[in-house]
Amino acid sequence: MPNPVRRFYDRLARDYHLIYADWNAAIESQSRAIDRIVRREVGAPPLALLDCACGIGTQAIGLALRGYRVHATDLSGPALKRARREARSRGAQLTFAHADLGDLGRSVSSTFDVVICCDNSLAHMMTARDLARAARSVRARLKPGGLFLASIRDYDRIVREHPTFTPQALSDVPGNLRLSFQYWKWHRDGRTYDQHLFVVRGRGERWTIRHYGGLSHALLRGELGEHLRRGGLAKIRWLMPARTGYHQPIVIARSPAR
């Protein structure tokens, strides 16, 4: 991924959990939804699973607690540091490494039954070349017949509507109200947008605001599917939230069997 993406997530690592009203509940619900899909497509854990864009551990920690042998990688050092700390605090057994999604082989030599890339990480692949590198990188880390699973925002709908604000996440804990929301400024191409995430915290007369800015590309499902196919993956299918219970559309694909 480009360096601006790394800087965005380096800064956001301390506050990433605040994009959810209840991050612990998100760890549970997201791992449950992914586990159901993996069991149906591949089988039951223990399976070797690579989370190649783990962030602070939202999916990786939950899946490790469900019995998967998880290796978690990310481009952001601060995010990895926090993921390790969060995993230890929950008794989750998994390993971590610093790796670029577009060049996983530089840091990861093993192959896996499952590779996941969730929470819209692929939207930071700004060019066709970036996406092609990511698809080939993922394919090389899958065992023959292995499963790739990624989640991404519903950009097929979003590009029709071009929203400028996302729904807010609100958490009201004793002594501390927390609110997060995003403002999107669309570029003229209608597909690229500046992403401005605001985190507001406080109570009474005392408030703080933190801002995190990044860049994303509204990647359509057909486009992503074609890039995965060109990268050597097959049997590409989309699973929508109404079916999976996950908060974003999920694409699954298979590494060809020998």
Average pLDDT over residues 102-109: 95
- Say yes or no: 82 and 179 in one domain: no
Q: The CATH number of the domain where 182 resides is what?
A: 3.10.450
In DSSP notation, 139-173 reads HHTEEEEEEEEEE---HHHHHHH--SBPPPEEEEE
Average pLDDT over residues 33-58: 98
Question: Distances in Å between the alpha carbon of 251 and those of 107, 142, 144, 203?
Answer: 25, 16, 18, 41
The model's pTM is: 0.95
Instruction: Quick: pLDDT tens for 76-88.
Output: 999 999 999 999 9
Average pLDDT over residues 99-114: 96
Instruction: Quick: pLDDT tens for 181-233.
Output: 999 999 999 999 999 999 999 988 899 999 999 999 999 999 999 999 999 99
The pLDDT score that the predictor gives to residue 87 is 99
Maximum alpha-carbon separation in the chain: 64
- Say yes or no: 112 and 209 in one domain: no
- Say yes or no: 140 and 239 in one domain: yes
- Say yes or no: 140 and 84 in one domain: yes
pLDDT band of residue 2 (cuts 50, 70, 90) is low
For 192, the domain range is 157-217
